[in-house]
Amino acid sequence: MGQGSSTPLADCLNAVCNSRSDCVAYPDNPLYQISWVKRYNLDIAVTPVAVTRPDSAEDVSGFIKCAVQNNVKVQPKSGGHSYANFGVGGTDGELVLDLQNLQQFSMDTNTWQATIGAGHRLSDVTQKLHDNGKRAMSHGTCPGVGIGGHATIGGLGPSSRMWGSCLDHVLEVEVVTADGTIQRANANENADLLFAIKGAGAGFGVVTEFVVRTQPEPGSVVQYSYSMTFGKHADMADVFEQWQTLISDPNLDRRFGSEIVMHELGLVITATFYGTEDEFDATGIPGRIPTGKISVVIDDWLGVITEQAQEAALYLSDISTAFTARSLAFREDELLSKDAINSMMSYLDNNDRGTLLWFLIFDVTGGAISDVPQNATAYSHRDKIMFCQGYGIGIPTLTQTTKDFMNGLIDNIQGSVPQTLTTYPGYVDPVLTNAQESYWGPNLATLGQIKTKWDPNDIFHNPQSVRPGTLDVKQESSAKSRRWRF
């Protein structure tokens, strides 16, 4: 595992490990970057001071205390899927807590609330919920994403318009805070901390387990797919406009989720409807969405999850690559006009992409996510109805041409909207000039106050995490008297 030099930090970490193998590794380990750090985006280099693998909340507490004693920043890692490698420290010299060993799971069959260790990946969550009462919850489609990061930043997926985001399922957490204390946070205990964790978790503590509400698995599910190849991107402007008109309908059936993906050779629209084919037909959606191949009805929930994972892997898999990623979020009054759509397509046709592997993905959101007040959790994008994410992947290395292409594409889209568009923190964008404002907007001031209370020295830190706020006497008095009702 590599011994590291005999420093106070290394001595402290080794003492917590108490001679356990595979508990901590240092940069002198020859497999450090490959087996321990495991950067997801190979274009962004990060070398943590050490990577630990705690077996319990007590281990997490011990490692955090070691970091505090040695003035080292901390970042937890639950899946290794951060676009900017913030889950592996974000900047050189931070301590990473890889939670992969926290695999505890139980189901209360009276309340159908599940307790899930923060080391689970989404594929494991799906399987264990299925095996324990055929239950389900909202989450994304990439099976390798860790629940720890997913459920503390948002967690969007095809069922989110019906059930809410992943974090909307979280009722309680066990979390280790900056002083090394193992806390519980729920609606009645440390409610302000739960507010922050549900949308900005990495800056407030290390969650070791979640208590979540679950739903019965859906029965029939309709999977829809439409693909198109064309001579130039301008040829698909009408298709995009038709799709955007459909997904922006305020009365759109909440059982429906969809995305449109533009790529080098064409366009793909995928959709999921949680119901029977007759129910899907009754919504009127089939007559309003571009005609594609015959819909496939899958009655097995696990089969649906598997198919969605395969589709996600076509665009951005769990394999580490060098890539650039940019994203934007849209309210109803920020959707693309016909002229803006034509301008976007013209940009795609007339600019050097520097790679054959690039994607521009638009997802529908809203529905049940928008039922939750914007100030009820740290997640602030309750008013958004569409997200876009652009990816440029290096073959074999990422070129400046591809970065310039993706930056120009996002600038082109932004230029069509008078307001400055924000973005979802789950789609990490390392080139944002004011990431915190973009990610948390109207909730940022409150988060700064909570950060000041729970982590005033910014122990839980990455380049875009929430920073401690500055409170004057009047603000501080108000904050102390506030009853947190989240």
The reply to whether 162 and 235 lie within a common domain is: no
pLDDT in tens, 51-72: 999 999 999 999 999 999 999 9
Is residue 258 within 8 A of residue 272, CB to CB? The reply is yes
Closest by Cα among 448, 437, 348, 357 to 394: 357
Residue 298's pLDDT band, with cuts at 50, 70 and 90, is low
Mean pLDDT calculated for residue range 154-177? 97
Element holding 122 (H helix, E strand): helix 122-131
The verdict on 262 and 406 lying in the same domain is: yes
User: 408 and 268, same structural domain?
Assistant: yes
- pLDDT tens digits, residue range 226-276? 888 878 999 999 999 999 999 999 999 999 999 999 999 888 898 999 999
| CATH code, domain carrying 124 | 3.30.465.10
Residues 201 and 227 in one domain: no
In a domain, 173, yes or no: yes
Band of pLDDT at residue 225, cut at 50, 70 and 90: confident
Quote the pLDDT of residue 90: 77
239/192 same-domain check: no
- Would you place residue 305 in the very low, low, confident or very high pLDDT band (cuts 50, 70, 90)? confident
Quick one: pLDDT at residue 313? 52
Q: Look at residue 271 and tell me if it is in a domain.
A: yes
Are residues 133 and 204 part of one domain? Answer: yes
Co-location of 211 and 235 in the same domain:
no
Domain final residue pick, 216, 236, 266: 216
User: For residue 60, is it within any domain?
Assistant: no
Cα of 234 vs its chain's centroid, Å? 31
Mean pLDDT of 122-128: 94
> Which tokens belong to 243?
């799709």
Residue 113's H or E segment, with its range, is strand 113-117
Q: Which long-range contacts (CB under 8 A, 24 or more apart) does 35-38 make?
A: 36/98, 37/88, 37/96, 38/80, 38/88, 38/320
The CA distance from 255 to 270, in Å, is: 14
What's the CA gap between 190 and 473, in Å, rounded?
A: 23
Residue 216 has pLDDT above 80, yes or no: yes
Q: Using CA atoms in the order 365, 371, 374, 378, what is the torsion angle rounded to 10 degrees?
A: -70
Do both 341 and 269 map to the same domain? yes
pLDDT at 307: 67
Task: Verify that 268 and 137 share a domain, yes or no.
Answer: no
- 29 domain residue, yes or no: no
288 & 258 share domain: yes
Total number of domains constituting the chain: 2
Give the lowest-confidence range in 84-88, 106-110, 142-146, 184-188: 84-88
Q: What is the average pLDDT across 3-8?
A: 79
In a domain, 430, yes or no: no
Domain boundary among 174, 190, 216: 216
CA dihedral of 478, 484, 485, 486, whole degrees rounded to 10:
120
Does residue 313 form part of some domain? no
381 has a pLDDT exceeding 60:
yes
Closest CA relative to residue 220, chosen from 169, 290, 280: 280
Domain of 239: which CATH number?
3.40.462.20
Instruction: For residue 88, give the 3-state DSSP assignment.
Output: helix
Mean residue pLDDT of the chain comes to 90
Decide which of 84 and 394 is more confident: 394
pLDDT given for residue 481 in this prediction:
33
Q: How buried is 106 (Cβ within 10 angstroms: 0-12 exposed, 13-18 middle, 19+ buried)? A: middle
- Structural domain that includes position 159: 105-216
Q: Which of 288, 289, 290, 308 is nearest to 298 (CA)?
A: 308
Does 398 lie in the same domain as 249? yes
297 vs 15: which has the higher pLDDT: 15
Residue 2 is predicted with a pLDDT of: 54
- pLDDT recorded at residue 482: 34
Q: Does position 473 have pLDDT exceeding 80, yes or no?
A: no
Say whether both 196 and 246 belong to one domain.
no
Q: Confidence band (pLDDT; 50, 70, 90) for 363?
A: very high
Express each pLDDT in 443-471 by its tens digit.
Answer: 999 999 999 999 999 999 999 999 999 54
pLDDT of residue 483: 34
Whether 395 maps to a domain, the answer reads yes
Last residue of a domain, one of 403, 424, 445: 424
Measured in degrees and rounded to the nearest 5, phi and psi for residue 259 equal: -145, 155
For 271, list phi and psi in degrees, rounded to 5.
-150, 155
pLDDT of residue 310: 59
pLDDT at position 197 over 60: yes
When pLDDT is cut at 50, 70 and 90, the band that residue 478 belongs to is very low
- Counted residue by residue, the chain has a size of 486
Task: Answer whether residue 72 is part of any domain.
Answer: no
